[in-house]
Amino acid sequence: MHPMLNIAVRAARTAGKVIVRSFEQLDKVEVESKGTNDFVSSVDINAEQVIVETIRKSYPEHTIIGEETGVSKGSDEDYQWIIDPLDGTTNFVKGIPHFAVSIALKVKGKLDQAVIFDPIRGELFTASRGKGAQLNGFRIRVNKNKELAGAILATGFPFKHKQHSQAYMAMFSTLFLKTSDMRRAGSAALDLAYVAAGRVDGFFEIGLKPWDTAAGELLVIEAGGLVTDFVGGHNHAKSGNIVASSTGLQKDILKDIRPHLGEALSK
Ligand code: IPD
Ligand code: CA
Ligand code: CA
Ligand code: CA
In the prediction, which pLDDT does 266 show?
86
DSSP string covering 39-91: EEEHHHHHHHHHHHHHHHHH-TTEEEEETTTEEE--SEEEEEEEEEEEE-HHH
Residue 263 has pLDDT above 90, yes or no: no
In this prediction, residue 244 has a pLDDT band, given cuts at 50, 70 and 90, of very high
In the prediction, which pLDDT does 41 show?
93
pLDDT tens digits for range 95-142: 999 999 999 999 999 999 999 999 999 999 999 999 999 999 999 999
pLDDT tens digits for range 10-30: 999 999 999 999 999 999 999
The CA-atom distances, in angstroms, between 14 and each of 31, 44, 118, 139 are 21, 13, 12, 24
In the prediction, which pLDDT does 232 show?
95
pLDDT tens digits for range 177-188: 999 999 999 999
In the prediction, which pLDDT does 176 show?
98
Around ligand 1, the residues with Cβ closer than 6 Å are 84, 87-90, 156, 186-188, 205, 208, 212
In this prediction, residue 5 has a pLDDT band, given cuts at 50, 70 and 90, of very high
Question: Which residue out of 212, 213, 239, 241 has the highest number of ligand 1 atoms within 8 Å of its CB and is therefore the one to mutate?
Answer: 212
In the prediction, which pLDDT does 222 show?
98
Q: What's the 211 CA to ligand 4 centre distance in angstroms?
A: 8
In the prediction, which pLDDT does 245 show?
98
Mean pLDDT of 49-54: 98
ipTM of the modeled complex: 0.98
In the prediction, which pLDDT does 44 show?
97
In this prediction, residue 49 has a pLDDT band, given cuts at 50, 70 and 90, of very high
CA angle 148, 227, 264 (to 5 degrees): 90
Residue 265 has pLDDT above 90, yes or no: no
What's this model's pTM, rounded to 2 decimal places?
A: 0.97
Atom of ligand 1 nearest to the CA of 88: 15
**Percentage with pLDDT > 90 across the chain:** 89
The CA-atom distances, in angstroms, between 240 and each of 12, 44, 195, 213, 230 are 23, 21, 17, 8, 10
Q: What's the 146 CA to ligand 4 centre distance in angstroms?
A: 32
Domain coordinates in residue numbering, the chain: 3-140, 152-260
Question: Which residue out of 34, 40, 87 has the highest number of ligand 1 atoms within 8 Å of its CB and is therefore the one to mutate?
Answer: 87
What length does the chain have? Answer: 267
In this prediction, residue 38 has a pLDDT band, given cuts at 50, 70 and 90, of confident
pLDDT tens digits for range 172-213: 999 999 999 999 999 999 999 999 999 999 999 999 999 999
Residue 36 has pLDDT above 90, yes or no: no
Question: Which residue out of 37, 204, 208, 241 has the highest number of ligand 1 atoms within 8 Å of its CB and is therefore the one to mutate?
Answer: 208
d(CA 70, CA 129): 25
Architecture of the 152-260 domain: 3-Layer(aba) Sandwich (3.40)
Atom of ligand 1 nearest to the CA of 157: 11
What class does CATH assign to 3-140? alpha beta
Q: What is the mean pLDDT of the chain?
A: 96
Report every protein residue that has its C-beta within 5 angstroms of ion ligand 2. 89
In the prediction, which pLDDT does 262 show?
81
Residue 2 has pLDDT above 90, yes or no: yes
